[in-house]
Structure formats: structure tokens, C-alpha cells
Amino acid sequence: MVNRWLELSLETDAELAEAISEAIFPYVEGGVALEQTHRQQPGGEIADRWEDERVEGPIIVRAYLPDDETLAERKRKVEEALAYLNMVRPTPQPAYRIVAQSDWADAWKASFKPLRIGRRILIRPSWMEDASPGDAADRDVVIALDPGMAFGTGLHPTTQLCAAAMEDYVQPGMRVLDVGSGSGILSILAAKLGAREVVGVDTDDEAVRVGRENVLANGVADRVTIAHGSHEVAHGVYDLVVANILAGVIIRMLAEGLASRAPRFIFSGILDAQATDVARAAEAAGLSIVEQRAIDDWICLVCARRGEQKR
């Protein structure tokens, strides 16, 4: 994976910003960012909120080219596109600078504090030295976490819904499959709630790496394995499957036979408007809805194989 990029930025107005984005879009990675920052008043004070959040002032168009063998060719094409645009309307020259993933990957950590979720789960950022947060009680389940660039900080409603449901449904000795394990937060939680064996799977290389590190840091490596891939790579049957991904992925996995893997399921990452579709897919796969929980417009569904005894 590339972790150095050439950033190009151009200061322009709203009309030209769209045209520049369009011209360079085919040659840059991922997309384009347009930033409009309010100019500070002479005294350093930022003016009161604008009407309708309308911001006056220039727009900075930013785009990124990976620093690899394609760089020279992409840069040439971007400059060519801007030169042609310049013949129609005066277009500023881009400014260039090299940025590295490490420059931005950790920037948000400054605002990540120990966090309590569910009834007795405490998420502690692992880069914080204090090993025992003052308010941790004996019965707390403490998870040390560095999510890196993987999903699962405990801050998002989908993770919180899943974690709270797991407190109710994970029984000691269970085998748990965590599909889309991300930072490993839910796999680690399953082990700390007493699961005998936990398999976490994720299709993202970075998530697998980060997940394994977090498993080690929490001392549950004897019970938790993180593997690369989707649910098919985890063999055998489980007592519980946890999937905090997105509605579309859950529906697809149900069609692929996920329902045969366990008698009970916790599905999360579902928006209110998508819940009916997921419930329908679960029912078509032979599951019934045991419980539905919600935070804001996010839904978590607990399902059981039909005919299984309800808890």
C-alpha cells in the first residue's frame, strides 16, 4: 500500500473549483476535496456563524497522486488538463507538497478519551499510559484499543449497539464468529465476556494487522484468531455470529449461507430505512428476529434460527 502522496492544491472560486475538479478527477486517487475556510478577522476572532453556513472566500481544491511508478504520468496529465482549462478561463497553478499517511493517521487521537459503552465496558485508548482508569470498577470489562486505520473505536452507535447486545448474548464457553472485525474491538469483547474461542475475519489487510495487535495487547491471543477474508474463511459452526458491517453486505452474506453458521446472530451497521430489507433477508434465510435495538437512526437486529429456543 502506498503511504506517500503528492498533494496538489489550488486556490480558486466556486465556479472554477467545479471545473478544476472535473478536469483532474480522472487522474487523481479517490476523489477531490474542496475546502472553504473562513478568513479570520484581523483580531484573530472568527466571525459568528454564517447564514445557512454559507462561507465567503476562496476555495482550496486538493487532490492526491500516489507516490509510485504512475506519479510522473499522472502529474503530467493533471498539468495538461489544467493547461487546457487555462485557455478557457485563467486557472491558477497548483502548489505541490509530499504528504505521508503518518501525517494524518493519528491526528484524531488527540480527542479520543476513555469511553464507557454498554453496561460495564470501558474502552481505553492503548496509547494512554494510565493502565487503570480511575473510574474502572472491578466488574468492568476493560478493552485497550488502538484502532489505527481500522473501524471500531467504540464511539460509533453501530459498535455500541453490538457491544451492548453482546453483553446480553455472549455466554461463557461460547464459540463466536466476528465478521468484519475491524479494530478487533468486538472479538476482544467476546473473549473478555467469556467466549472460549473467537474468530474475527476482515477483508481489509490493515484491519487484520491492527486487529491482531489489539488482540495481543489485550492478552486474549490464546482465544482470539483474526483471519483475512469474509465469513467463508472461518470453518466450523459457532454459537454466535456478530456482524457489524453494512446492510448490503449483511444481506449478501445471508444469501451466501451465513445463517447456517450459528443458531444466533447480532447484525449491526444498519440504517433505519434499511432494517426491513435486512429483516426480510434474515427471515428468508430461516432466521427470526428476536430483538431490535436502536441508537439514533442506526439499528441492531438480534436473530435466531427458527426453531431454536428463545433465550
Partner 1 sequence: MAKKVKSIVSIQIEAGKATPAPPIGPSLAPHGINLMMFCKEYNARTASMAGYIIPAKITVYTDNSFTFTLGTPPTAQLIRKAAGIEKGSAMPNRNKVGKITRAQVKEIAEMKMKDLNAIDLEGAMKQVIGTARSMGVEVVD
Which residues are near partner 1 by CB under 8 A?
A: 5, 7, 14-16, 18-19, 21-23, 25-26, 28-38, 46-50, 53-55, 62-64, 80-81, 84-85, 87-89, 99, 101, 103-105, 107-108, 110-112, 147, 149-153, 155-156, 158, 182, 246-248, 269, 271, 274
Least distance between partner 1 and beta carbon 7 (Å): 6
Determine the Cα–Cα distance for residues 242 and 221; give it in Å rounded to an integer: 19
175 vs 200, which CB is nearer to partner 1? 200
Q: Is the dihedral of CA 130, 131, 137, 141 positive or negative?
A: positive
4 vs 120, which CB is nearer to partner 1? 4
36 vs 225, which CB is nearer to partner 1? 36
6 vs 259, which CB is nearer to partner 1? 6
**CA geometry: angle 244, 159, 106, nearest 5 deg:** 105
Least distance between partner 1 and beta carbon 35 (Å): 5
Determine the Cα–Cα distance for residues 16 and 22; give it in Å rounded to an integer: 10
Determine the Cα–Cα distance for residues 145 and 126; give it in Å rounded to an integer: 5
Least distance between partner 1 and beta carbon 9 (Å): 10
Question: Torsion angle, CA of 298/304/306/311, rounded to 10 degrees?
Answer: -120
Least distance between partner 1 and beta carbon 152 (Å): 8
238 vs 298, which CB is nearer to partner 1? 298
217 vs 249, which CB is nearer to partner 1? 249
Give per-residue burial for 152-170: e unless 16+ CB within 10 Å, then b: bbbebbbbbbbbbbbeebb
DSSP 108: G
Q: Give, for 192, the enclosing helix (H) or strand (E).
A: helix 185-192
Least distance between partner 1 and beta carbon 210 (Å): 11
Residue written as cell 454466535? 240
Least distance between partner 1 and beta carbon 132 (Å): 25
